[in-house]
Amino acid sequence: MLQLEGYPLEVLLTAANSAAQAWYGYEQVNTVRNLECVHQSLQLSQGIIAGLLVSDRFLNTFPQLHTPSIEGIFTSSFALGNLVGCLMVAIFGDWLGRRRTLWVGSGISATGAVLQFAATSFPQLMVGRVINGLGNGMTSSTCGVYQAESCRGPRRGKLSVIVVTHNVVFYMLGSWLTLGTWYINNDAQWRLPFALQLVPAIVLCTLLFGLPESPRWLLLHDRHEEALEALRRYLGSGLTHDDEAVQREYKSIVSSIEIERRSKITFKEVMLCRDRSGHLKRMLLGMGTQFMQQMTGINALNYYFSIILINNLGFSELLARVLTGANATSYCISTASAFFIIERRGRRFLMMTGLWLQAFAYIMVALAVGMLARAPQQWGAVAISFLFFYYAAFGCTWGMVPWIYQAEVNSLAMRTRGAAAATSMNWLFGFVCTQFTSVGIRNLGYKFYIIFAVLNFAFLPVVYFLYPETANRTLEDLNDYFDRDSPHKTIIAIGDKVAKQHHRPQEAIDSEHRRIAMADESETVYTKKVGDDAQWVEQSSNSV
């Protein structure tokens, strides 16, 4: 079998992880779509909406969803499955490895998809939703880690943007598919979107066969021969194990792992922040990005965008669906634009800029909704314009950064658990937002949007004083930054330029040189034995 290396392997890695994220984005649309159907059907008796083909077909098959309590269970079942999937990754992810976790997760999700599109009873649909969510939780919390650990440092941010962008690409495609199936007059209206979930799963499983495991995970498990081979393939074409670039990266990672192992302490000491590597602090930073992402209001709009257009702004259902697809398209374009700025401007700049722009958008939407009674057509146009503006601002900032940041900020020993914990926060608080959004839209009017404007402003000092820059650093550079002996504190000082600059600081370069020197001076080195068997042996550094 042909073994890819260098740029072609980088493309394959990014494509596989993109398939995992695509599944997450596409499934989001299915959840939104079904939630819309339920909410619209509950209001038919009030004469607001009538003649909904999608709602009729879906609800004729599953009439249980007319009951509000069952509706809530149905809505939350996918999120519940994702939370369980993230927990499974936290427990078993380091044992399985990155590739096998993606394989297992995609297999579980595919099983859930089959149960859903073939559902003939409500219990079967619910079981399928939970199983699908479980697998999705495993893949969505692992693909970012696999990408960050395997690709070259200077390209980590850009390639991670490509991965996360596929979340939004398939959210966009799913939105237009929803409009297309609106015209189908049979059960394919809802069975077809469920069945198409199998496409990303098949693509992911196929591409994984051509990928080596994460070299950092291999070194964490002392599989040095495989790790060197993986590094050789990931770092470029035509390299050998003895190439300077391969050895430099290898020694830097090995030394960083050794430092972590020497300072290994109990879980209680980690919880009390007494460990050398700041495991808890770093995990909380990753979780915080996902918490803030959800509390800026993205899923409150995602799940209810069409309903807001119909109920708050007075659009017809067809126009609301068309605008939803158009918004998803502009959202996708904005997300892709992060590719050009994620490394150039850094994570902190994007997070803070996004908060300012999103807060401004919510203020304008609140103003427009409050003025609708005076001039519905004009102020409705203002409201929809700034909803589009919000999505555009979110896409290239908070739509990207949390997924990248959670994979970068955690130490190697805690990266799987940290990413799983952060992803679980995404699902948990996305669920929380959807629970109060329906009530807020109906009862608070323009005040509902003021809530999110305030939250966006409130997160600005949090990002400024707590979140160090991770762009243009190696993952091992960040270990040194959070080291107990580092001069950098939890609260970032206004004058701490190293914590805030987006280009690689000199102290990180110096730390890398020290790690390489430490590896050169260690008692044991790994070298390849000359001979046909090409096995690995240990030899004392004193005898070399």
Per-residue pLDDT tens over the stretch 100-144: 999 999 999 889 889 988 888 888 888 888 898 899 889 988 988
| Homologous superfamily of 267-504 | MFS general substrate transporter like domains (1.20.1250.20)
CATH 2.30.40.10 describes domain 1-211: no
Give yes or no for a contact between 28 and 303, defined as CB atoms under 8 angstroms apart. no
Q: What is the mean pLDDT of residues 316-337?
A: 82
- In eight-state DSSP terms, residue 182 is T
Number of H helices, E strands in the chain: 25, 2
Instruction: Show the tokens assigned to 170.
Output: 């398939």
CA separation for the pair 467, 167 (Å, rounded): 25
CA separation for the pair 87, 320 (Å, rounded): 37
Cβ-based neighbour number of residue 224 at 10 Å: 17
H or E element that contains 199: helix 198-208
Give yes or no for a contact between 207 and 12, defined as CB atoms under 8 angstroms apart. yes
pLDDT the model gives residue 58: 67
What's the CA angle centered on 410, arms 407 and 411, to 5 degrees?
A: 125
Classify 368 as helix, strand or coil.
Answer: helix
Per-residue pLDDT tens over the stretch 33-63: 554 544 444 333 222 122 222 345 666 777 7
> 389: pLDDT confidence band, cut at 50, 70 and 90?
very high
Of 65-79, 202-216, 269-283, 348-362, give the lowest mean pLDDT range: 65-79
Domain extent listing, the chain: 1-211, 267-504
Tell me the residue type at 378. Answer: Q
Q: Which residue has the tokens 């392997």?
A: 9
**Winning range, highest mean pLDDT, from 188-192, 331-335, 345-349, 499-503:** 345-349
Give yes or no for residue 274 having a pLDDT over 80: no
